[in-house]
């Protein structure tokens, strides 16, 4: 099953202890998010 369910449960517990939503625990919100896009094999021409 992995560690995912445990991670989610711990974030949920922290949110309940601090009476805050998870996005606030992670540092709030941003109106813009930096993004990066790449192709692993280049375009269709192989460049």
As for how many domains the chain has, the answer is 1
What range does the domain containing 31 cover?
Answer: 1-47
Place of tokens 């989610």: 8
User: Residues 1-46: pLDDT tens digits?
Assistant: 689 999 999 999 999 999 999 888 988 877 787 888 776 666 666 5
User: How far apart (Å, rounded) are the C-alpha atoms in residues 10 and 16?
Assistant: 10
Output the pLDDT for position 23: 87
Q: What angle do CA 6, 10, 11 make, to 5 degrees?
A: 120
The sign of the dihedral angle between the CA atoms of 8, 13, 19, 25 is negative
């Amino acid at each position: 099953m992995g560690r995912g369910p445990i991670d989610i449960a711990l974030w949920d517990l922290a949110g309940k202890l601090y009476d805050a939503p998870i996005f606030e625990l992670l540092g709030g919100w941003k109106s813009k998010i930096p993004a990066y896009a790449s192709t692993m094999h280049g375009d269709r021409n192989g460049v």
